[in-house]
Structure 1
Amino acid sequence: MKIIASIILLFSAYSLFAQPSGGSPTGGEPIHVRHADLLSGSDTTGILIRELIGNVHIEQGNVTLRCNRATQYLAENRVVMIGNVKVIQGTVTLSGPSANYDGNTRIASGNQGVKIVDRKTTLTARAGRYSTISAIANFYGTVRAEDDSVAIDADTIEYHRSTENSFASGNVLMQAKYSKAFIVGDSAENYPSRNYSRVTGHPILFQIDTVATSHDSLKISKDSSNTSKPDSFLAQKDTSDKKPDTMTISSVVMESYRGKNERYIATGQVEVVRGGLSARADTVLYGNSDEKILLRGKPIVWYDSTQLSADSINIYVPLKKLKKIEAFANAFSASQDDSLHADRVNQLSGAAITIAVELDTLREVFARGEAKSLYFLVKETEPDGAARHSADSIRITMENSKPEIIRWLGGVNGENIPERMMEGKNKDYYLPSWRWEKTRPKKQVFVGRKR
């Protein structure tokens, strides 16, 4: 015959003294009940249980548990909590509608929605666990981690309380708090003390700019609500004098440095697309405040029908508008303007080449330092030979993105080549530094995080 003993007591925090669970099997600190409005105890088939109801307050060492209702399994040294659950340890608070706390491992866990708040960091997820020993939280399912400078969405996030560092994996979206930029990738690391983040696994940076089409200065809202839905940036409607413009940068690794001078460093197979401009390089450095994009390691830039390459290239975008492209060392430019004759490619080389752009239209190309040019001539839409020259510098004024006036300055040497000599031999007259990349980067499209 089973004997069930039940005791129901009504007591306050002053009348309920510390009640240890009998010590944990691992020799850790016992769990103490500090308060409950209602307590019932039972011993069924040898299982000791305490039911705690109303304003429950439990402690184990430096950990405090609070909830509306709890079931304490004394032999197992664990507590099941329901209703307004809070697990508090120093500056960190885990909360949710329900949670389990294991007094042996000192791990709190929940699977009906959990939230952790620790100083400047907040994490939310469908499920998660927090170790009060290692001070590490592991969250799973629609996880979001947010501090004062960045928000991260991912399938899983591991948060280290001692350093405030977080490590995300699976379907990552990282968004800067006060700029219209976000990065997607497979995994991410965030180091708040250094204002530094690193995204890997096919990372792509999306920079959504509001471009003024008049002479008005650009204004970007710093409303923190903008960080919650990056999809809304892409869905902005054009206004009378402003329109959204998106730049994408894809790479193998994407690093971001936040603060007054927000910077991004993309490395490994980097591709950049912004409006009519595309680029490829081993490394790309982009700074919002600097208003320039630096390409290093075999850089190539495409703008309209022009392709530019060199040892290094700088792209200048003041007020988010393309103004100038500078190529340094072994610079070479090629423009394929004749769609009917693919081998008639206009060429320019020099120690440095500068391309000037105005109102999204190529206005001037300037080569300096042992400059050389090859331009194919046309007479009434028909090929009419070519002109090949060298000079200290060459300045080309463009009209409708095509050469209108060419000026050769200093130490000029040149020749005009009749069409009859070039038939079928156009490539024989190419400049010594000729190079051409057929594959142009394409713009990446953000379709939203997978759910």
Structure 2
Amino acid sequence: MKIFFKHIRFIIFLITFSPLILFAQKTTKVQLLNSNKLIGVKTDGKELNRLIGDVILKHDSTIFYCDSAYLYKGTNNFEAFSNVHIIVNDSVEIFGDILNYNGNSRIAELFYNVKLIDNKATLTTEHLFYNRNTKIAFYNTGGKIVDKENQLTSVIGYYYTSQKEFFFKDSVVLINPDYIMNSDTLMYNTETETSYFYGPTTIIGDEDSIYCEDGWYDTQFNITRLKKNLFIQHNEQIITGDTIYYDKTKGYGLAINNVVLIDTLQDVVVKGNLAEYQKNKGFAFVTDSALAITIDNNDSLFLHADTLKIVFDTAHKAKILFAYNKAKFYREDIQGLCDSLVYNFKDSTITLYNEPVLWSDSNQLTADSIKIVIANNEIDTMVLFNSSFIISRDDTATFNQIKGKNMVAYFTDNELKKITVDGNSQTIYFVREENGELIGINKAVSSKMLIFLENKQMKTITYIDFPKETLFPEKDLSPKDIILKGFKWLEEKRPRNKMEIFYW
């Protein structure tokens, strides 16, 4: 940025002090090519020729037309009035009402109804300087640039006619059929139709609004790169990050570092350091410290995985969230981990795959896969598929256990109240007096079971189809007899707060 403004200051220097350049140039005289009438006049001690009607003047290769003019003798200067027309070269022409021209410095100053036209853009203003040495036009009282699709206004403006580039400063407004841009400083190339903006900038479209302080936008190919304090809003979705690249035609976007995606309709926030967006394919993914937050006033859920993928519906609303590789989440009433996870926004279900583990209060739940159903932002049911296992600690060394093929756990007010077990049901339960004294250890098998809990403890167990139940004294069972096959106590992996989801 410092280099950029050094360049601008240098351009201003060239315009302001351009007579110094003449030491390296050959000075030529202004030539009179035509005038219907010539009158010699002396005023204020100055001799001049008053030219009237179809006036044509020439300086080097530049031709000047006007209705009348004052050609000052001995100074190489002239003033032109009415229908002023300058042909700078094959592609640049300038029009105005009044012209002051210095043939030695080669600077033209035009007033009122000024218009500069090149092949691709037209500049209009009330006061314009044009330096033939540097081939730069300058205004500082407000101007407007128009090309085939864009209209741009600013207080200060420079036009580099050789490079076909405009530089604008102060109250810059660019109007395009698809958006309106307001900026502090902007450069625009008429050949590439690309805008470069610096300082506080807003871009407002039909469905999008953008804020940033550095970037460029190719209006011809609808490609943009934004950075520095950037903020983008698309309907109910917001994105921020250090740098964003977006190709509107392809519907492809890339965001880098400190990326935040917010869906205010679904109350979801996704963060990471690398995000890719495929609008036409209807998805986006986030990696590198990826974090998803489903917002709830009472209890938000925080989810981390190597990669988070969001799938959108046809209305571009978040439909499904996928978490791949080492997914781990935390909510005050439930925590979990698995290799991959799917969150369905439509029916508020979370499905965990590949060695999932869930913790709720004092309970640990495992299975081949687990489906969590949430209703009114509270856990409603958990469905465990194949190799289902529920463990809760009885004391520091013993555990109550429920095992079966499939299970359904039912919750009320986020507390586990009922469990149904279907297929190869087994339990180990430590039966105690109200004072906590151990009565015995209950071991049971059955085809099916129905278990009710109260105050987070088993209250009743109903065995269905071919039950077998025995209450053993503690002394009759060895340590291996009070552990069901497949038992794994994984408390050390349980996240205790939202920061621990980043540690596997």
TM-score, normalization: structure 1? 0.80
Letter in 2 for 1:39: L
SS at match of 1:37: strand
Letter in 2 for 1:249: L
Return the alpha-carbon distance in structure 2 between the equivalents of residues 354 and 250 of structure 1. Answer: 26
Aligned to 2:489: 436
Deviates more, 1:277-286 or 1:129-138: 129-138
Preserved contact between residue 118 and residue 161 of structure 1 (Cα < 8 Å):
no
Preserved contact between residue 77 and residue 102 of structure 1 (Cα < 8 Å):
yes
Letter in 1 for 2:464: L
The 5 Å alignment of 1:410-425 reads: 410-422=465-477, 425=478
Letter in 1 for 2:321: Y
Of the candidates 345, 352, 374, which is equivalent to residue 406 of structure 2? 352
Larger Rg: 2
Q: Could you tell me how far 1:90 is from its partner in structure 2?
A: 4.3
Of the candidates 102, 117, 124, which is equivalent to residue 35 of structure 1? 124
Aligned to 2:350: 293
Deviates more, 1:311-320 or 1:186-195: 186-195
Q: Could you tell me how far 1:81 is from its partner in structure 2?
A: 0.6
Provide closer, same or farther for how the CA distance between residues 61 and 289 of structure 1 changes in structure 2, counting only shifts above 3 A.
closer
Of the candidates 328, 333, 337, which is equivalent to residue 280 of structure 1? 337
Letter in 2 for 1:34: L
Q: Which has the higher strand share?
A: 2
Q: Could you tell me how far 1:318 is from its partner in structure 2?
A: 1.0
The 5 Å alignment of 1:68-147 reads: 68-103=155-190, 105-147=192-234
Of the candidates 110, 121, 126, which is equivalent to residue 9 of structure 1? 110
Letter in 1 for 2:186: A
Aligned to 1:390: 445
Provide closer, same or farther for how the CA distance between residues 147 and 191 of structure 1 changes in structure 2, counting only shifts above 3 A.
farther
Q: Could you tell me how far 1:93 is from its partner in structure 2?
A: 4.1
Preserved contact between residue 199 and residue 255 of structure 1 (Cα < 8 Å):
yes
Aligned to 1:217: none
Question: Larger RCO: Structure 1 or Structure 2 (Cα < 8 Å, ≥ 6 residues apart)?
Answer: 1
Provide closer, same or farther for how the CA distance between residues 95 and 445 of structure 1 changes in structure 2, counting only shifts above 3 A.
farther
* Structure 2 unpaired stretches of 5+: 1-19, 23-103
Letter in 2 for 1:306: N
Q: Could you tell me how far 1:151 is from its partner in structure 2?
A: 0.7
Aligned to 1:399: 454
Deviates more, 1:123-132 or 1:188-197: 188-197
CA RMSD of aligned residues (A): 2.5
Of the candidates 350, 374, 378, which is equivalent to residue 432 of structure 2? 378
Aligned residue pairs: how many?
Answer: 394
Return the alpha-carbon distance in structure 2 between the equivalents of residues 297 and 413 of structure 1. Answer: 32
Aligned to 1:264: 321
* Alignment of 1:303 onto 2:360: yes
Letter in 2 for 1:326: V
Letter in 1 for 2:383: E
SS at match of 1:431: coil
Return the alpha-carbon distance in structure 2 between the equivalents of residues 34 and 251 of structure 1. Answer: 54
* Alignment of 1:180 onto 2:229: no
TM-score, normalization: structure 2? 0.72
* Alignment of 1:409 onto 2:468: no
Preserved contact between residue 37 and residue 53 of structure 1 (Cα < 8 Å):
no
* Structure 1 unpaired stretches of 5+: 21-29, 211-243, 447-451
Return the alpha-carbon distance in structure 2 between the equivalents of residues 337 and 305 of structure 1. Answer: 9
SS at match of 2:388: strand
Deviation sequence 1:183-228 (CA, Å, 0-9, x none): 1111222344555322221221112224xxxxxxxxxxxxxxxxxx
Preserved contact between residue 112 and residue 127 of structure 2 (Cα < 8 Å):
yes
Provide closer, same or farther for how the CA distance between residues 376 and 256 of structure 1 changes in structure 2, counting only shifts above 3 A.
same
